[in-house]
Amino acid sequence: MTAPLIELRHLGKSFGAVRALEDVSLAIGRGEIHCLAGENGSGKSTLIKVISGIWQPDKGEILFDGKPVHAMTPRDAIARGVQVIYQDFSLFGNLSVAENLALSNELQEGRRLVSWGRVRRIAREATRKLGVDLDLDALVETLPTAGKQLVAIARALMSDPRLLIMDEPTTALTGREVEALFRVVRDIQGRGIAVLFVSHKMREMLDISERLTVIRSGQVVAAGPIGEFDEAKITRAMTGQEIAAEGYRWEAQPGRKPLLEVSGLTVPGEIEDVNLRVMPGEIVGISGLLGSGRTELALALFGMKPGHAGSIRLEGRELRLGSVQDAIAHGIAYVPEDRLTEGLFLTQTIDRNMLATSHDRLSRMGVLQGGRAAREAAAMIREMAIATPTGNRPVTQLSGGNAQRVVIGRWLMNDPKLLILNGPTVGVDVGSKAGIHRKIRELARARGLGVLMISDDLPELVDNCNRILVLHRGRLVSEVAAEETSEAALSAQLGALA
Amino acid sequence: MSGLANALRRHPELMVAAVLVLAVVVIGAVNPVFWQPSNIFSLLRASVISGILALAVLLVMLSGGIDVSFPAFAIAAMYLTVKAMIAWGFDGVVLPFLMASGIGLCLGLVNAVFVHYFRMIPLIVTLGTGTAVRGFILGAVGTSQINIGQMPPDLIDFARTELFAVARPDGSMAGLSAMVLVFAVIALLVHLMLRHTMMGRSIYALGGGEEAARRVGFNVRRTTFFIYGLAGALAGFAGLLHGAMIWTANPRDMVGMELDVIAAVVLGGASIFGGRGTVIGAVLGVLTFVVITNSLIILGVDTTWQRIVVGLIVIAATAVTAWRDRKRLA
């Protein structure tokens, strides 16, 4: 029996008092697609950095082809055939595609001078190897995400790697791009290159990998051929708890008036003649491909498309939404897709982020009532179950799931009637995701809040919404009750639109 | 994506080339004296020191930092070297320039230590080191100006070398300073280094993303020390050359010059966010800057307006490059 390509034995790594890796053993065979699963903070990234030689483990050993390697540097790892494609791709946006492709090769060969003819030759060779067509002169920053990823993959393949590590490769891709990526990955495997696929998306793991290793708190909690796993088992291993997906049951109460009624809503060039209703306590999903107009619909309802036509009624009252201030004043709240750039003040504390939309309400004659503000912020931190000892900490210290709770909590402080969520759990791990879903349902049920949930994550819509609207090219093309559909049916419907 | 932003990103020197042509045409039209060889020669001569310093700033800006310590380093290198030459009774050209460059190099490495090991923001580091070095020179070395009478004659002779001379209408001769050639050679060397060596590309890579540069396998520490070391050496060289060209070693010289040089480099298309900029752009930026500020006089504009023009150039050039660089986020 031949030794595995790489074997990790009882690796441990601490940073100060924090033990990032407790005891991790893992073996990857030649040409194997291996999936490494774990929630944020489980030690996945530390493990990648140890395998690629960026950090040295405190204990345990790494074996390549059965032979132990000590004090491995990034260069050693690359020389042994390890290539990592990071989530951010680690490309140079300010340099051309050609140079990005050729750089690491030139460095590996220890060149001191650059020949631009050679750079082009290497780059052409790299794109040919991957079988893709890229504009070699384009600056990388001008490429779309999927294009950048291809550059990163092509670059990694240049050095004839034996192990390709891909860190959360599907995060920023659309469904179709994910399929294209998987084809590339299988093609890479066909050449005998092993792939370590790091992810927290269950469906993808089950789809692509042959073996799976799940780590939690720096320890391997489950491992084996993919056939031994199903979604529930992976979730259980990743979170250490049972998270049952159950639909949101919402009963129409007779005699209640609709909370939101939209009719004939049109934003020229973006959405056309959209009609929809949301009842109090209802969670309505909005699905559609990127560019279908779903975000524009949300923005129109949040007063950011002042040029719209058609009518928007909230609790029976006709609204004129000319600005965000109008929308907020009428009790409409919007949690944007990209919370890092649009939703949070990253340099500020959790409290200040919480209070960002409440200053008017909490001020008397223009002076913020500090005591009351602090009390309310603390109450909301408790209500949203945000994991922090005090609201005085920088918001950047929170995990993705907790940061999202801050954004949602901020809006709840103003007691909104309608909550619009755009990609509420993008980049949030399974455990916190379930927590956020639970919270949203509770809010809808207890406060009679109407929720519009826009998401790419179809299971999220099916599980949480009682109705799902499908938007395509700015029009509503169908409406289904969540009970009567499934992720597969919805996915097929979206696929047919593409 | 705007096509103009794209073109500017690929060829950052396009904008400054257009501005320079426009400036030259307008100024020449208003006052034809501009086109006289003596004026052109004097503008070129006036560009030498700013030009060499601009190359130093360009290196730092490409890597994503900013340097405001170079005028202090230049003056320190110049004053120490001239003082030492007088004290030791030494005259010459090559050794003094080596010494000045060496002093600048060492000071630049101090910047690198703070930037690399203490992970400090380059602006703050260089503000600190620049101020401290100026203080040291004035406090520990001397405050008195060294004038023509005491300046080492070989230095002055070297700086007076002319490439060729043409006759003015009145019969006197106007020569083109050989220092322009010195600047051109240094600019060419820096250009070749940036464009055709891995060290040069590592500077661009560092400006594109430090973490990414590390992951690809660049030695970020070596690159950082190279950048600040070379920038310091260029500043030291420029400092001594400046003293030689004005026949004076004044320890209080070049105050506030950092803004002018940074303005010229930004005008030349270098990005304040790092990773973008070229030697050609920086050189054109300096020429444009010198042409505009020095031509205010022949345009009949009061010299007190010069600082306003400098300020406006900084704002306008930064606005255009910032607009260009933000386009990538869209």
Query: So where are chain B's domains?
Result: 3-329
Q: Residue B105 belongs to what H/E stretch?
A: helix B94-117
Residues of A in contact with B214 (CB under 8 A): 74
Looking at the fold, whether A228 and A271 belong to one and the same domain comes out as no
- Determine whether the interchain pair A92/B204 forms a contact, defined as Cβ–Cβ distance below 8 Å: yes
Q: Determine the Cα–Cα distance for residues A112 and B306; give it in Å rounded to an integer.
A: 44
What residues 26-85 of chain B have any CB closer than 8 A to a CB of chain A?
none
Q: How confident is the model at residue A391 (pLDDT cuts 50, 70, 90)?
A: confident
CB pairs under 8 A between A and B: 73
How far apart CA A430 and CA A225 sit, in angstroms, is 21
Whether B97 shows a pLDDT value over 90: the answer reads yes
Give me the pLDDT at residue A51, please. Answer: 92
Q: Do A94 and B207 touch (CB under 8 A)?
A: yes
Confidence of residue B49 (pLDDT cuts 50, 70, 90): very high
Q: How far is CA A454 from the centre of its chain?
A: 14
- For residue A429, being part of any structural domain is answered with yes
Residue numbers in B near A93 (CB within 8 A): 208-209, 275, 328
Instruction: Among 3.30.950, 1.10.3470, 1.10.3430, 1.10.1900, name the CATH number for the domain at B3-329.
Output: 1.10.3470
- Which CATH number does the domain housing residue A57 bear? 3.40.50.300
pLDDT of B80 above 70 = yes
Rounded Cα–Cα distance for residues A6 and A360 (Å): 59
Instruction: Give the chain B residue whose CA is nearest to the CA of A119.
Output: B196
What is the distance of C-alpha A390 from the center of its chain? 27
pLDDT at A475 over 80: yes
Nearest to A95 among B204, B271, B328 (CB): B204
Q: Which token pair is A47?
A: 């493990």
Mean pLDDT of B156-185: 91
Task: Determine the angle formed by the axes of helices B37-62 and B198-208, rounding to 10 degrees.
Answer: 70
Q: With CB atoms and an 8 Å threshold, state whether A111 touches B198.
A: yes
Instruction: Name the token pair of A352.
Output: 């200040």
**A114: nearest CB among B196, B215, B328:** B196
| pLDDT computed for residue B329 by the predictor | 46
Say what the alpha-carbon torsion angle A223, A224, A226, A230 is, to the nearest 10 degrees: -60
Q: Which residues of A touch B (CB under 8 A)?
A: 54, 74-75, 78, 84, 86, 88, 90-95, 99, 103-104, 106-108, 111-115, 139, 141-142
Residue A457 lies in a domain: yes
Residue B249: what are its φ and ψ, rounded to 5°?
A: -115, 100
- Looking at the structure, tell me whether residues A268 and A194 fall in a common domain: no
Q: Is residue A231 domain-shared with residue A264, that is, in the same domain?
A: no
Of B1, B207, B217, nearest to A142 by CB-CB distance is B1
| Chain A residues whose beta carbon lies within 8 Å of the beta carbon of residue B2 | none
CB contact under 8 A, B198 and A142: no
Q: How far is CA B112 from CA A465, B115, B219, B258, B270, in A?
A: 56, 5, 14, 18, 21
Report d(CA B256, CA B311) in Å as an integer: 12
Residue A87: inside a domain = yes
pLDDT at position B280? 96
On whether both A74 and A130 belong to a single domain, the answer is yes
Q: Which of A78, A86, A112 faces B217 most closely, judged by CB atoms?
A: A78
Judge if A155 and A283 occupy the same domain: no
Residues from chain A contacting residue B207 (CB–CB below 8 Å) = 94
Q: Is there a single domain that holds both residue A104 and residue A222? A: yes
**Structure token pair of residue A41:** 């903070």
Q: Tell if the CB–CB gap between A93 and B276 is shorter than 8 Å.
A: no
Q: State how far the alpha carbon of B135 is from the alpha carbons of B130, B143, B229, B249, in Å.
A: 9, 10, 21, 16
Determine the residue type at A413: M
Residue A201 lies in a domain: yes
**Looking at the complex, does the CB of residue B10 fall below 8 Å from at least one CB of chain A?**
yes
CB B261 within 8 Å of CB B53: yes
What distance in Å separates the CA atoms of residue B209 and residue B275, rounded to the nearest whole number?
A: 8
Instruction: Write down the pLDDT at residue A498.
Output: 66
Q: Given a cut of 80, is residue B247 above it in pLDDT?
A: yes
Do B200 and A114 make contact, defined as CB atoms within 8 angstroms? yes
Dist CA A217 CA A195 (whole Å): 23
Which residues in chain A have their CB less than 8 angstroms from residue B272's CB?
none
User: Looking at the 3D structure of chain A, how many domains does it have?
Assistant: 2
Least confident interval from B68-72, B111-115, B256-260: B256-260
Same domain, A193 and A297: no
User: Which residues in chain A have Cβ-Cβ distances shorter than 8 Å to B216?
Assistant: 90, 103-104, 107
| Per-residue model confidence as pLDDT tens digits over A223-267 | 989 888 888 888 888 877 666 666 677 777 777 888 999 999 998
- Out of A178, A208, A239, pick the residue that ends a domain: A239
Structural domain includes residue A394: yes
Inter-residue long-range contacts of B170-179, CB under 8 Å, 24+ positions, other chains counted: B174/B37, B174/B38, B174/B41, B175/B41, B176/B41, B176/B44, B176/B45, B177/B41, B177/B44, B177/B45, B177/B48, B177/B245, B179/B45, B179/B48, B179/B241, B179/B245
Cα A175 from chain centroid (whole Å): 13
Q: Do B212 and A88 touch (CB under 8 A)?
A: yes
pLDDT of amino acid A246: 67
> Of A183, A208, A239, at which residue does a domain stop?
A239
Q: What is the pTM of this model?
A: 0.74
Cα A147 to chain centroid distance, Å, stands at: 18
ipTM here: 0.87
Here the tokens at position A184 are: 């590339």
Which pair of tokens denotes residue A483? 């009970």
Among A33, A48, A40, smallest CA distance to A84 is for A48
pLDDT digits (tens, 9 = 90+) for B174-206: 899 999 999 999 999 999 999 999 999 999 999
How far apart are alpha carbons B164 and B173 in whole angstroms? 10
CB atoms within 10 A of CB A459: 16
Task: Establish if A251 belongs to a structural domain.
Answer: no
Q: Which of B233, B236, B290, B239 is nearest to B261 (CA)?
A: B290
- Taking a contact as any Cβ pair under 8 Å apart, which residues of chain B between 192 and 211 contact chain A? 195-201, 204-205, 207-209, 211
- Considering only CA atoms, give the Rg of chain B: 20
Domain membership of residue A314 (yes or no) is: yes
Contact B196 A86 (CB under 8 A): no
pLDDT one-digit tens code per residue, A349-377: 888 888 887 777 777 777 877 788 888 88
Whether A252 is in a domain gets the answer no
Summarize the confidence of residues A436-459 as an average pLDDT: 86
Are B217 and A93 in contact (CB < 8 Å)?
Answer: no
Predicted local distance difference test score (pLDDT) of residue A16: 73
Find, in chain A, the residue whose alpha carbon is nearest to that of B198.
A112
DSSP structure class, residue A343: I
Which of A74, A92, A111 is the closest to B208 by Cβ?
A92
CB contact (8 A) between residue A94 and residue B204: yes
A contacts of B212 (beta carbons < 8 Å): 88, 90-92
Smallest CA-to-CA distance from A52 within A81, A29, A30 is with A81
At A375 the pLDDT is 86
CA distance B264 to B284: 8
Q: Which residue has the tokens 């990234």?
A: A45
Q: At what angle do helices A116-130 and A145-158 cross, to 10 degrees?
A: 100
Are A176 and A319 in the same domain?
A: no
Nearest in space to B241 (alpha carbons), one of B44, B49, B85, B69: B49
Q: Which of A78, A86, A87, A94 is the best residue to mutate to test the B interface, defined by the most B CB atoms within 10 Å of its own CB?
A: A94
pLDDT at B1: 44
pLDDT (tens digit per residue) in A71-113? 888 888 888 999 999 888 889 999 999 999 998 888 888 889 9
- Rounded Cα distance, A19 and A12, in Å: 8
Whether the CB-CB separation of A28 and A4 falls below 8 Å is answered with yes
Mean pLDDT of A418-423: 89
Quick check: A107 and B209 CB within 8 A? no
> What is the three-class DSSP state of A59?
strand
- Whether A279 and A217 map to the same domain: the answer is no
Is pLDDT larger for residue A334 or for residue A492? Answer: A334
Question: Are A107 and B205 in contact (CB < 8 Å)?
Answer: no
Residue A341 pLDDT class (50, 70, 90 cuts): low
Task: Sort strands A418-422 and A332-335 into parallel, antiparallel or unpaired.
Answer: parallel
Which domain, by its residues, includes A88?
6-239
Cα separation values, A289 from A371, A468, A470, Å: 46, 14, 9
